[in-house]
Chains A and B, each alone.
Chain A
């Protein structure tokens, strides 16, 4: 078990290293690094001084090491647009994105898994076909379009929910959260729903495939032969058996949800990091871009790690080092 953890930690470290190299090459080496570090309005003298002080006259690998060193100390430079340290800027916006992503992943799981299990339990029923149609739509229809339709219907047409922005928040653990206030919650619903659609589709598909497979096994037949009710079989046997792939995807999807939040945040003017990155791309605020990418990569790797470790909790065969046959 300990070896497993160490191995995964090493892997995570390697991935982070690879990602930082990619980001470095992408933004620093392909683009003009001066643009990343100095505002374009600076004078020639300041530019020359900056090139020296940032070591841009050094060989590429030395520059990369310096870049890594700055990353490790949390120094991402200053935003051209806001003039504040990038790390503060990103961290201030992170809770909004995390809240949105978490809400949407939860919606996806709590609605998607039961629907998927049902669709896998009765694959030929009209309801199951309807569920699958929703899942096909959720997979193929672009997020931004669904967001638009949600706004059009719930905000413009019915006028039930706000069309954008975050609304009031309340403080908890030193961070501002929307879901703690009633009104804030109404602001959260549409964006979270929008962002959850893809996850919902995926959960439905996975839960359905898993359930279909498990329903044919002798485990289910044996449980039936013991007189267990269908609901108990689904809740206690099937759910546990399909949970391992679900948790994997659940975790991995949380990472990609952070990425897809870019789209949803833009549509709903949700003040998170996704909106920040789009703004920074259009205004060429490169320090912010770098910080965002490194941050997402970091979150991604961390989530992968957590998912791997939670396998062990779900599968007893892994937990005890396994004599699995």
Chain B
């Protein structure tokens, strides 16, 4: 049985201006210990998908339909108390900017102790001990002594390690990481990526890695989901999908990557911008920006599944 089964997830924001369908019909599954890369531009619904999984969609947004099964248990519509008991214990989350996630006026030890005690009683000493051990695991030297330090006394990379340690405290089965390296220096990024990968493999924790950066995902993930305008447009094993993308959007994303371009060649940006989710025309949402679009794209594109890969397109690129 897979760890996580998401079926037709729809998360909508009911604003004054209208209903924003941030996530519209997303389905995927995740095995134990698997690393899934969730890729898309900002506004593609990848972060909202992540927040939906952990039940933290801010109003006026809410899950409007679909199902999220975690170890067979339905999370959509789960009472708030039961959802809270899962959060931090079985499903944890790491955010983008560690400077914003840690509380500046509480010491690291205090904050981690709160997270320890959120799931059961623990003595002051036991909570600090667990916190210190977890900090050591994520590569913070002299952890016990640094428990009384405040976030501003840590560097950006160290802060993110503290956040990751907080997520790891209870040994969760699933960690949702929402662009956790974007705010960091490039050299630190690589370190944290490597550590996250080895921690996940070591403990058998599944990872949903949300990122706009294909390069990061290609070095980390087992599988990749590409999202556009709240939908999955392409999914598959990371190597194949990024080597030979079948959706024109994935192709466009790859072509705009500096690392993928040949020297001397011009970078190809995808023309146009992401559409407003308030007034999405029927049919393929990518059609207005797509080089391969024609009249048929005004109708909903089919899911084409071949050899474990999914592409949602009327005119997919040929598998090479």
A224 touches B87 (CB 8 A): yes
Which residue from A217, A223, A243 sits with its C-beta under 8 Å from B100? A217
A246 and B105 alpha carbons, distance in the complex (Å): 15
B107 touches A219 (CB 8 A): no
A218 touches B100 (CB 8 A): yes
A229 and B80 alpha carbons, distance in the complex (Å): 10
Which residue from B89, B114, B152 sits with its C-beta under 8 Å from A323? B152
Pick the interface stretch among A113-121, A141-149, A150-158, A314-322.
Answer: A314-322
Pick the interface stretch among A46-54, A77-85, A233-241.
Answer: A233-241
Which residue from B102, B104, B119, B153 sits with its C-beta under 8 Å from A222? B102
For B95, list chain A residues within 8 Å (CB). Answer: 218, 221-222, 225
Task: Tell me which of A219, A229, A317 has the highest count of chain B C-beta atoms within 10 A of its own C-beta.
Answer: A219
CB B287 to nearest CB in A, in angstroms, measures 35
A218 touches B115 (CB 8 A): no
B106 touches A236 (CB 8 A): yes
For B196, list chain A residues within 8 Å (CB). Answer: none
Is A324 interfacial (CB 8 A cutoff)?
A: yes
B88 touches A228 (CB 8 A): yes
For B152, list chain A residues within 8 Å (CB). Answer: 316-317, 322-325
For B87, list chain A residues within 8 Å (CB). Answer: 224-227
Is A256 interfacial (CB 8 A cutoff)?
A: no
For B100, list chain A residues within 8 Å (CB). Answer: 217-219
Is A62 interfacial (CB 8 A cutoff)?
A: no
Is A232 interfacial (CB 8 A cutoff)?
A: yes
Task: Tell me which of A216, A224, A314, A325 has the highest count of chain B C-beta atoms within 10 A of its own C-beta.
Answer: A224
| Tally of contact residues, B, Cβ under 8 A | 35
CB B119 to nearest CB in A, in angstroms, measures 6
A residues bordering B, Cβ < 8 Å? 216-219, 221-229, 232, 236-237, 240-241, 243-244, 314-317, 320, 322-325
A226 and B89 alpha carbons, distance in the complex (Å): 7
For B86, list chain A residues within 8 Å (CB). Answer: 227
B104 touches A227 (CB 8 A): no
A227 touches B84 (CB 8 A): yes
Nearest residue, chain A, Cβ from B85 = A227
For B85, list chain A residues within 8 Å (CB). Answer: 227
CB B170 to nearest CB in A, in angstroms, measures 8
Is B68 interfacial (CB 8 A cutoff)?
A: no
Is B284 interfacial (CB 8 A cutoff)?
A: no
A-B contact pairs, 19 of them (CB 8 A): A218-B101, A225-B93, A225-B167, A226-B114, A227-B85, A227-B115, A228-B115, A229-B84, A232-B114, A232-B118, A237-B103, A237-B106, A241-B105, A244-B105, A316-B150, A316-B152, A317-B150, A320-B150, A323-B152
Is B132 interfacial (CB 8 A cutoff)?
A: no
For A218, list chain B residues within 8 Å (CB). Answer: 95-97, 100-101
A104 and B233 alpha carbons, distance in the complex (Å): 62
A222 touches B105 (CB 8 A): no
Nearest residue, chain B, Cβ from A219 = B103
A226 and B163 alpha carbons, distance in the complex (Å): 10
Known: A221-B56, A232-B114, A316-B152. A226 touches B104 (CB 8 A): no
B residues bordering A, Cβ < 8 Å? 54, 56, 58, 84-89, 92-93, 95-97, 99-107, 110, 114-115, 118-119, 150, 152-153, 163, 166-167, 169
CB B245 to nearest CB in A, in angstroms, measures 32
Task: Tell me which of A228, A241, A244, A315 has the highest count of chain B C-beta atoms within 10 A of its own C-beta.
Answer: A228
B103 touches A241 (CB 8 A): yes
For A320, list chain B residues within 8 Å (CB). Answer: 150, 153
Which residue from B88, B99, B105 sits with its C-beta under 8 Å from A240? B105
For A225, list chain B residues within 8 Å (CB). Answer: 54, 56, 87-88, 92-93, 95, 167
B114 touches A228 (CB 8 A): yes
Known: A316-B150, A323-B152, A323-B153. A226 touches B167 (CB 8 A): yes
Nearest residue, chain A, Cβ from B112 = A226
A226 and B86 alpha carbons, distance in the complex (Å): 9
Nearest residue, chain A, Cβ from B110 = A236
A222 and B163 alpha carbons, distance in the complex (Å): 9
For B114, list chain A residues within 8 Å (CB). Answer: 223, 226, 228, 232, 236-237
Known: A316-B150, A316-B152. A226 touches B166 (CB 8 A): yes
For A229, list chain B residues within 8 Å (CB). Answer: 84, 118
For A226, list chain B residues within 8 Å (CB). Answer: 87-88, 92, 114-115, 118, 166-167, 169
A243 and B106 alpha carbons, distance in the complex (Å): 12
A41 and B166 alpha carbons, distance in the complex (Å): 79
A256 and B163 alpha carbons, distance in the complex (Å): 43
For A216, list chain B residues within 8 Å (CB). Answer: 58
A316 touches B105 (CB 8 A): yes
CB B82 to nearest CB in A, in angstroms, measures 11
For A315, list chain B residues within 8 Å (CB). Answer: 104-105
